[in-house]
Amino acid sequence: MSDANSVMQTNSTTRDWSAQAYRRFERERSRPAAELLSRVPARALRRAVDLGCGPGNSTALIAERFPGAEIIGLDSSPDMLTAARSRLPRVTFRQGDIVDFDDPAADLVFANAAMHWVPNHIAVMRRIAERLPPLGCLAVQMPDNENEPTHALMREIAAGPRFRVKLADAAAARQPIGAFADYDDALSPFCDEVDIWRTTYVHCLAGSDAIVAWVESAGLRPFLSPLDADERAEYLALYREGVARAYPPRAGGGALLPFPRLFIVATRREKD
């Protein structure tokens, strides 16, 4: 579920790659989850559930912020859960799908970079908000980059005559992100406060190939997996070309990748 941030690099001509930079990028990788968590109101929690917890990065942040709460991580992938359990032995990790989640005792439901894979995620968020206990909180962060050149290009190449048949369903793997009002409409009937914001982070990568590497293990997967080896090479060659055009090298070297993400923190009304 986590984004493929591990390819983030500095431009070696003007910037220094070092252990210090590596630690900085560690912080960068956890930044959206940390910023989401920082907007969850301060109060004593009984139970916090991390939906789509992956290897437990966001779960660790939640456990640190709310040391008195019972923490539960939920993910559909056994591999992710194994990694999470070995990282956080004192946290409960369970296998399950977000769409089936229903735990009225959870007073924080946290979903970092997970909800955009859930069909009809706005209806799912609405149901979760409705079932929260009074003053309980739903906190969601989703990549909102479907209209960035990186992602428009994936669909554009897939729609061409060469790939049209095999990739007919590729673009549908990911759920479209709604407008601000869609989330406010769904959540405000149950919540006094619906805090919505959208942040575009500007990542400085080594060049356009680093941008391709960034999306290869995330958004590009549904476009590559239906293809055989030759087709995949052909698709990737077209994709590399397009990305190089859309993200030209900068004067000082490197390329900037703007990456928008949508954040929602909804707090359940105290009394209905």
Residues near its own copies, by CB under 8 A = 14-16, 24, 180-181, 184-185, 188-189, 192-194, 196-202, 204, 250-252, 256, 258
CB of 243 to its own copies, least distance (A): 16
Instruction: Compare residues 91 and 125 and give the one whose CB is closer to its own copies.
Output: 125
CA distance 78 to 86: 12
User: How near is the Cβ of 272 to its own copies at its closest, in Å?
Assistant: 12
What backbone phi and psi angles, to 5 degrees, belong to 73? -105, 135
Is beta strand 70-75 parallel, antiparallel or unpaired with respect to 92-95? Answer: parallel
CB of 26 to its own copies, least distance (A): 14
Nearest CB to its own copies, comparing residues 14 and 225: 14
End-to-end CA distance of the chain: 35
Alpha-carbon span 241 to 26, nearest angstrom: 30
Cβ distance to its own copies smaller for residue 155 or 198 = 198
Whichever of 93 and 263 has its CB closer to its own copies, that residue is 263
Query: What is the smallest separation between the CB atom of 179 and its own copies, expressed in angstroms?
Result: 9
Beta carbon of residue 168, minimum distance to its own copies (angstroms, whole number):
33
Rounded Cα–Cα distance for residues 35 and 263 (Å): 9
Cα separation, 209 vs 236, whole angstroms: 11
Q: Which is nearer to its own copies, 172 or 256 (CB)?
A: 256
CB of 263 to its own copies, least distance (A): 9
Nearer to its own copies, 49 or 61 (CB): 61
Q: What are phi and psi of 188, to 5 degrees?
A: -70, -20
Distance CA 185, CA 181 (A): 6
CA dist 215 and 18 (Å) reads 24
Q: What phi-psi label fits residue 256: left (phi over 0), alpha (psi between -120 and 50 degrees) or beta?
A: beta
Q: How far is the CB of 240 from its own copies (least distance, A)?
A: 21
DSSP string, 102-158: --TT-SEEEEES-GGGSTTHHHHHHHHHHHSPTT-EEEEEEE--TTSHHHHHHHHHH
Task: Give residue for tokens 């056994």.
Answer: 78
Choice between 23 and 94, CB closer to its own copies: 23
